[in-house]
Amino acid sequence: MAEINGCNIPEDLYYLAGDKLVWARFEEDGTVTAGVPDPGQAVAGSVVAVTAKKLGRTVARGKSMGTLESGKWVGPIPAPVSGEIIAINEAVTASPTLVNDDPYGEGWIVKLQPSDLEGEKGDLATGQAAVDAFQELMGERDISCQ
């Protein structure tokens, strides 16, 4: 796991490139678990509400799969891949600070059944490419988890 400005960046996850702060984990059953990475929760501050789109809803890559609200920010959580929302993390709905406390574990937002994973996987950054992208973004936007 890489660390940039106190933010953890797991190198085994995939990230939507650019300034869309979202991670994806490809599960063995072909689904994708998605959430907000450490730098994203740092930008938002203390999360007070997470509202996912409805089960069964189809979302396009980069479009909103839900909304995150903090004391200083309200905005969309972009989908890392296109697909159908097949699970919503009810624990995050009940306790939104899980996004702050455990963004890569208990703080996941939704699970998706991807519609074109092979076609879209190449648009996601992972490993050193993800670390480099976060380093650049965090430098430009002065993001820190410290």
- Once rounded to an integer, what is the mean pLDDT over residues 106-132? 95
Q: Among 11-25, 92-106, 114-128, which stretch is predicted with the lowest mean pLDDT?
A: 11-25
Between CA 26 and CA 48 the distance in angstroms is 27
**Which domains, and CATH codes, for the chain?**
2-141 (2.40.50.100)
pLDDT band for position 67 (cuts 50, 70, 90): very high
**The pLDDT of residue 88 is above 90:** yes
pLDDT of residue 35: 98
What DSSP element (H or E) covers 3? strand 2-4
Share of the chain above pLDDT 70, in %: 99
In degrees, rounded to 5, the angle at the alpha carbon of residue 22 between the alpha carbons of residues 17 and 24 is 90
How far apart CA 34 and CA 65 sit, in angstroms, is 9
Mind listing the pLDDT tens digit for each residue in 38-60? 999 998 999 999 999 999 999 99
Any idea what DSSP says for residue 38? H
Average pLDDT over residues 119-128: 94
What pLDDT, on the 0 to 100 scale, is given for residue 20?
Answer: 81
Mean pLDDT (whole number) for 63-91: 95
Q: What is the pLDDT of residue 19?
A: 74
Does 124 have pLDDT greater than 90? yes
Cα gap 70→47, rounded to integer Å: 4
**Full DSSP string of 104-141:** TTTT--EEEEESSHHHHHTTEEEHHHHHHHHHHHHHHH
